[in-house]
Structure 1
Amino acid sequence: MDDNDFFKDMKDILQPDIGTETGNDDYVYGNYIEWPTLEELNNDQIKELIDYFGLGETVYGMFKKCNVPDYESLEKEEFNDFKKILNPEIEVDNDYMFDTYIEWPSLDELTNDQFVELIDYLDLKEEIYDKLEKCGVPQGTDYENGNPDFPESERYFREEKDLDQEYSYQDYVSTMDSFKDDYNDLKDRIDNFVFNSNTRKMKDEITLYYLNLEDLFKRKVSQILPNPDEFDLPESLQKVIRNTYTDQLRNINNQKFKSFIQSFIGNYRKIGHHELRNALAHNRSKVTFENQNINYPEKGKLKSVKYVEIINEMKDYLNWVDKLGSDN
């Protein structure tokens, strides 16, 4: 499934889990998209899929073949079942005690819950699910590793067509003059983080913390790496070295970068709770805040961590970044 409008629509409706596939020693293979099965969907999602693929009239036709909305012709037991599902308005004529008027909802007035309950009751789910599968509803797990059709927007390793474009090694080196000011600014913002009811604002703030921490780390590493301009080498080889640095800096969370950078900075460390960073970038709706905790998906399960722990780890990481190279 490539990165097109259909993928974006399915992501919006199905809310898949998006995470990072790792192996031994935290080696990163790429991201994955875990789509829910049709059986795992809630009633709103099922109805939304039926509407999205234009199957509404088809389903209504299936209902009518099952005497919906011709409820009066049903046997008593079925009639009572439909009454329980559809909750019609019932009025008794006060002048004629035995005259009862039942006003059933029309098919287009059904709630999503009533709509799907009818599908279940009439044993139509298998047939309708088969139609949805034929329409291409994604299910199962898609992996970035070895998959050229994996959506670009969800990739862990983004394609970079030109190593000379922005965010290169040279860009990070050129911003070192403002490193201390940016460091102090980020430190103040993290120190003053307040857990509150504005969920969207908190997600934005924490996302920026992660991005700023990564940026400061890359800038500090760029300062520590041997400057190829100072090598007694042809310009063509200096460019190869600069491009190697750039390529490494774009993938700071994989094993390859860890092996590369340890000879320059010693012990390498990731920012704590990196799966939270990935969830905020790729699976934002699955990140929730509750009772001073931040909840986010990690390897298919929901992890809950006190926000204070996350903030403290960010502070510790920021302090570590600031001291990088001080012993070099």
Structure 2
Amino acid sequence: MPPGVAESSVLDQLLVELQQRGGTKATAMPPVGPYMHGPDGLWSYPGLERAVISTRVRPRGLAGSIPSRANNSMNPLYPYLTGFVEGTGTQPDASCDDCPTPGPMKNCFQTAVFGRYCYQTRTLDITRMGQIINRGEFTDLMIWNDPIGGPANAPGAAGIVYPNSAPGNINLNNEVSVRFAEIGVAFQNKLMRQIWEGNPTNNSAGGGYREFPGLDILVGTGKRDAVTGTACPSLDSTIVNAAGQDTAQLVDTLTYTMRYLKSLATSTGLGPATWALVMREELFFELTAAWPCNYLTYRCVFQTDNSNIQGSFDMGDAIAMRDAMRSGNYLVVDGVRWNVIVDDALP
């Protein structure tokens, strides 16, 4: 690992394992262009300026905030202590009478099914590597703005495709580097959506393609023990339907939901926790447009002469609060900042 990198990524570990195994795999696929340089190359036109500007819109989302770790356990079981059964018996009348018997402990096992996703690089004719047309072709081209996102510890979804040990940009003069970058883009586009939409019912019959359960499945109700099939209601997610609500009502719904989750984390001994709200950028801007007005006057309503009067606030304070939340990507609830993660792949 290079200096300054504290923890290797999953891709780093995979690269080490592949280097140790070695070996080759024959391919029946013919070489597939385009190539970067040489005859008919993408960047072989004479006289090009050095700077190359990328217009690819890089995906942002939850994938960039979820840590990835290697695991060789193919059937992991995660145990939960789900509470205690109600006891039996009554309090004794006499000192020698039997006392009530406390109820036994309960548990529930959950599992996480792994997915299998694969892409292959375009076949490369090694005799084309390093070719140029003539001295009019420049090989010092440099991409100004990284189209993928840099190393695994960078923001966004870059951690899906880049090991920490890899350079943070694409070398347009290296045919192999470009082909691996194409693989990275394919994985990035696929896994960004799979985090939400992954569903094992889409698996191929032969096992070549498998999807892990996405958040649309994991965040739900009706949880059951992975071994016995027994219902585990204490593991059910908190689902709140805010369909049809205006901005003021949505502020109220989010406030109460976040209060409940924070209280639940404290009561179960899981606090303090790291919280984040994941949403589309459009929703974040709509919320922050109305959030300060609702927050600064929250519950400041009183009735007089059959009229509801709402407390006033300084518009400058509201604008400053709105701009601060947008620049810092957060919402304020009960004086606490809740980080907001903008996700472009959110359904």
The TM-score range, normalised by the shorter chain, is under 0.3
Give TM-score, length-normalised by structure 2. Answer: 0.23
- Identify, as 1 or 2, the structure richer in helix: 1
Give TM-score, length-normalised by structure 1. Answer: 0.24
**Whose RCO is larger (CA < 8 A, sep 6+)?**
1
